[in-house]
């Protein structure tokens, strides 16, 4: 099956994805089809990293590990602003998971990783109006301009001293990489 004939199927599956694992399987499928690369045993964590005035960390990969950690703050904001749109939420998840998975494959240079993320997305989803393509090509501001602003919970966090903030815990998403880690159920 060629990438061109399967891209509509991937887009349909992405819109219908119900959880992190569903989206991750599509990320993995996209990288196998475009780069012929895969890494098993990826673990997903969720961490409340908040946001700063003009930026936030969407997710990160712990170099040398099998961990991808997604910031819960943007997830909450997207859910809040796109209440009934799984398409936007799933497009964001696809974008950040793809980007961090590419880091996990060994591409640690941020500029190169962004370029590969863009290229893979354009090859897999050949619709310039799809939210995942807009994120990859134009950046988060194209779909989520509200991500740049503080929310009341951000102000509350900033009012606390660094000692009171502590290091946010990482919530492990169980059963995430279902195909490659069946022994972790």
Does 183 reside within a domain? no
pLDDT tens string 81-121: 777 678 899 999 999 999 999 999 999 999 999 999 999 99
* CA dist., res. 37 & res. 154, Å (int): 38
Domain of 119 in residue numbering reads as 3-178
Residue 162 clears pLDDT 50, i.e. is over it: no
Does 185 reside within a domain? no
Check residue 103 and give its pLDDT: 96
Q: Which secondary-structure segment (H or E) carries 68?
A: strand 67-71
Does 82 reside within a domain? yes
Does 140 reside within a domain? yes
Choose between 47 and 85: higher pLDDT.
Answer: 47
Does 35 reside within a domain? yes
Confidence (pTM)? 0.81
Q: How many domains does the chain have?
A: 1
Query: 111 exposed, middle or buried (CB, 10 Å; 0-12, 13-18, 19+)?
Result: exposed
Mean pLDDT of the chain: 82
Does 184 reside within a domain? no
Helix (H, G, I), strand (E, B) or coil at 105: coil
Helix (H, G, I), strand (E, B) or coil at 16: helix
pLDDT tens string 129-138: 999 999 999 9
Does 149 reside within a domain? yes
């Amino acid at each position: 099956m060629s990438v061109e004939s399967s891209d509509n199927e991937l887009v349909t599956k992405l819109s219908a994805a119900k959880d992190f694992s569903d989206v991750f399987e599509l990320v993995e499928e996209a990288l196998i089809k475009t780069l012929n690369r895969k890494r098993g045993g990826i673990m997903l964590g969720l961490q409340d990293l908040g946001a700063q005035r003009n930026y936030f960390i969407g997710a990160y990969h712990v170099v040398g590990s099998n961990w991808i950690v997604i910031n819960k703050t943007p997830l909450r904001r997207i859910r809040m602003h796109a209440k009934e749109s799984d398409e936007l939420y799933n497009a964001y998840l696809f974008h950040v998971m793809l980007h961090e998975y590419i880091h996990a494959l060994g591409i640690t240079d941020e500029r190169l990783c962004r370029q590969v993320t863009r290229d893979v997305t354009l090859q897999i989803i050949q619709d310039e109006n799809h939210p995942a393509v807009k994120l990859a090509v134009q950046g988060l501001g194209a779909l989520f301009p509200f991500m740049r602003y503080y929310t009341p919970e951000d102000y509350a966090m900033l009012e606390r001293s660094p000692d009171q903030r502590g290091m946010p815990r990482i919530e492990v998403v169980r059963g995430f990489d279902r195909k490659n880690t069946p022994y972790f159920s």
